[in-house]
Amino acid sequence: MDGLGGQYEEVRGGRFEDFIEKLRIIRDTSNFGINVVVRQETIAELPKILEFAVEHGARQLLFLPVSKSSGEVFLDTESLKSLQEWLKANRKHFPLAISVNASREIDVPMLPISDSAQSLGEHLHIDASGSLKETAFSPLGVRLETSELVEAIKLIRKEKYSEDLVWIRN
């Protein structure tokens, strides 16, 4: 998720209401978390994003600050500081996590770190194209239609490398 409402639509090119509908479906099927791409523009929206997550049944927010191809976080110093302060202030109120790259630049004690190399299978991921994946970083996934969601979850959990899974370019 790259923000709420118009900000999401501007970045993702899809309707925010469609994203909300997918959340309604998944929350009745499985526990889920929401990945939040953090940019300078989304820092001020963090309280509303947290409210949104709680309201729609998410179990965790994973913050993924925009990064350069080198992995270095691409936020200005003020935005990084604001994100760090917000995470520290809210980490005890709701399950929050940050990416490995962000953990190198943001110091928040006891905040879980999401490492693409160490998937624990705690959550499944539905990307902006509507593909269900084991993690946000997985190149394998199942393209979804709303009616296929439950079957796709079963497939992902049953067989990681089934011939029904397809390579998805991020």
Q: Quick one: DSSP state of residue 122?
A: S
Q: Tell me how far apart the alpha carbons of residues 36 and 5 are, in angstroms, rounded to a whole number.
A: 14
Count the residues in the chain: 170
Apex 87 CA angle, 83 and 92, nearest 5: 170
pLDDT in tens, the chain (170 residues): 999 999 999 998 889 998 898 888 778 777 888 989 999 999 999 999 999 999 999 988 989 999 888 878 889 999 999 999 999 999 888 999 888 888 888 888 756 666 555 555 556 677 767 777 777 667 788 777 655 666 766 666 665 444 554 554 44
Contact 34, 58 (CB under 8 A): yes
Determine if the pTM surpasses 0.85.
no
| DSSP designation for 73 | B
